[in-house]
Amino acid sequence: MAKRFDLLVFDWDGTLIDSTGAIVAAVQAACRDLALAEPTAAQVRQVIGLGLTDALRRSTPDLAEHRVPQMIERYRQHYLAHDHELRLFDGVSELMAELHGAGYLLAVATGKSRAGLRRSMMNTGLERYFSATRCADECLSKPHPQMLLELLDEFSLPAERALMIGDTTHDLQMAINAGVAGLAVTYGAHPAEVLDALAPLARLHSVAELTQWLRRQA
């Protein structure tokens, strides 16, 4: 079967690496440090995928603007204390190797910073599989389409030859805004019913299901 897509773009946190719990814990700990009302896990999960500043502002609405740098510093301290412990979801390494070997162009579009993505890629050993990456400190935050539009331009591809794969509505809305197909995974930050509202091509409950879908449909 001929390939339906040439470029597969993956979100990072909650899609390839199991980091949702660590992000939630770091935001809550930072709030405690600054004596702010602690958001629920569900409130933090809702903003995962956005750029860090946007995510912290939305998850802690009582955060005064002049305290945003403090919040960022405290969040990073807590998150980085456990960053090296985070692991890929089962099957991700094998999937990336298979897709790379099959000749797909692979890319990442993430709400992480460039430094954060570089560190995580080195920790997980996935860097060798990706031809391009886009980060929130270099582009407008999701769901703005800039990340995907830049990737399409870099590879001289039309939108219909690309697929965005992610675990949040921010990923799927970015795909819609860029005219790119979206594929949802439900084992990350956002629940299935919320992802369904944005009509992805499919919603998949594990990396094993994602692997099978890509083999058959991509």
- CATH code where residue 26 lies: 1.10.150
Are 63 and 133 members of one domain? no
Domain-embedded: residue 2 = no
Residues 40 and 100 reside in one and the same domain: no
Does 76 lie in the same domain as 107? no
How is residue 140 annotated by DSSP?
A: P
Are residue 134 and residue 69 in the same domain, yes or no?
A: no
Instruction: Please report the pLDDT score of residue 62 as a whole number.
Output: 86
Task: Report the amino acid identity of residue 117.
Answer: L
Q: Where in the sequence is the domain holding 131, given as residue range(s)?
A: 7-19+86-217
Structure tokens at 30: 């930072």
DSSP H stretches of helix in the chain? 20-33, 41-47, 52-59, 68-80, 92-101, 114-124, 146-155, 169-178, 192-196, 207-217
Mark whether 64 and 30 lie in a shared domain: yes
Nearest to 63 by CA among 87, 17, 13, 27: 27
Question: What pLDDT shows up at residue 84?
Answer: 87
Q: Return the pLDDT at 71.
A: 96
Q: Is residue 212 part of a domain?
A: yes
* 90 and 198, same domain (yes or no): yes
- In angstroms, rounded to a whole number, what is the distance separating the alpha carbons of residues 8 and 115? 22
What amino acid positions are annotated as catalytic residues?
11, 13
Phi-psi region of 77 (alpha: psi -120 to 50; beta: other; left: phi over 0): alpha
Nearest of 11, 182, 209, 17 to residue 106 by alpha carbon: 11
Split into its structural domains, the chain has a count of: 2
- Domain termination residue (choose one: 67, 84, 101): 84
Of the candidates 35, 54, 84, which is a domain's last residue? 84
Same domain, 168 and 131: yes
Same domain, 121 and 144: yes
Report pLDDT for 107: 98
Tell me, yes or no, whether 95 lies in a domain. yes
- Of the candidates 58, 84, 110, which is a domain's last residue? 84
10-residue stretch averages of pLDDT, the chain, 218 residues long: 90 97 96 95 93 92 92 95 92 98 97 94 96 96 97 98 98 98 97 96 98 96
- Say yes or no: 140 and 194 in one domain: yes
Please tell me whether residues 123 and 37 are part of one structural domain.
no
